[in-house]
Amino acid sequence: MTFVTRFAPSPTGPLHLGHAYSAMLAHDMARAENGNFLLRIEDIDQSRARTHWENQIYDDLRWLGVTWDGPVIRQSENTAAYSHALDILWDKGLLYQCDCKRRDILDAAQAPQEGAPAHGPDGLIYPGTCRHTHPRIGPRPETVALRLDLSAAIAQIETPLTYSETGKNDGQIQVTNPMQTIGDIVLARRDMGTSYHLSVVVDDAAQGVTHIIRGADLAEATGIHVVLQHLLDLPTPIYQHHRLIRDDAGKRLAKRDDARAISKYRAEGAKPNDIRQMVGLPPAP
């Protein structure tokens, strides 16, 4: 089986050292395995995606010596595939319309009988307010937020919810207590008609990705991705969640962290191998 991995940046800001590490690590592994390295632009949030950031990504990656195989996929051009996946889940009776605002969720989660509010991959675990307020029959409603009814979804899954993580005993990791750690996640946002979790799962499968190499900040999201792979009958790739690159104060780098932008190091005369050294990678072969 050919090793296929990908780098999937969102064009909403400059590439910084953390992105460069992720891209170079995945790229080095693909080249060492004689596999494929794909580039996918995750631009479903059209209110934040910008063409100039996308162009800067291409330019910075080329400069770093990161080359990709095949055409670049842009998620904004793939919305039909996400709609199709939502239809499958809707037809299984697993999606429901949610009208809650952020404030409603916070209030409900903080109600005294709820105990301390729990957090999942998207922030507060949804307290289930809208779970039974809208009918789940007829055509799938559009331009509304749709959540996954997680306990109903899990009841429909017959195979064990596990995945392999390289470096972690190469063993099977179990998705544990999904209702407490994930909850009813939004799969279609009102403004986008999809979500990060849904599109990433659909695209990784469509692109034949065998290995997902990404930051430890996304490890929490893997549980919901595995649930979606089971529901949509898609294969589960092998995961590797790498350490995060932090600033001098130990904080992980954010998109707005222009001080660590690759373009800034370039402008100051750094060479690609200097960047590799900064993130702890050996010089380019």
Smallest gap from Cβ 280 to ligand GLU, in A, equals: 20
Pairing of strands 119-120, 123-124: antiparallel
Our CB check for ligand GLU shows the closer of 43 and 149 to be 43
Q: Is 214 in the site for ligand GLU (CB under 6 A)?
A: yes
Q: Is 105 in the site for ligand GLU (CB under 6 A)?
A: no
Q: Which residues of 108-119 are buried (b: 16+ CB within 10 A; e: fewer)?
A: bbeeeeeeeebe
Q: Is 178 in the site for ligand GLU (CB under 6 A)?
A: no
Smallest gap from Cβ 133 to ligand GLU, in A, equals: 32
Residue 150 Cα to chain centre, angstroms: 18
Q: Which of residues 32-61 bind ligand GLU (CB under 6 A)?
A: 42
Binding mask 216-255 for ligand GLU (x = CB under 6 A): --x-------------------------------------
Our CB check for ligand GLU shows the closer of 57 and 100 to be 57
Q: Which residues of 153-179 are buried (b: 16+ CB within 10 A; e: fewer)?
A: bbeeeeeebebbbeeeeeeebebeebe
Q: Choose one: 5-13, 44-52, 130-138, 163-171; the region binding ligand GLU (CB under 6 A).
A: 5-13
Q: 252 and 11 in contact (C-beta within 8 Å)?
A: no
Residue 78 backbone phi and psi in degrees, to 5: -120, 25
Would you tell me which residues interact with ligand GLU (CB under 6 A)?
8-10, 42, 200, 214, 218
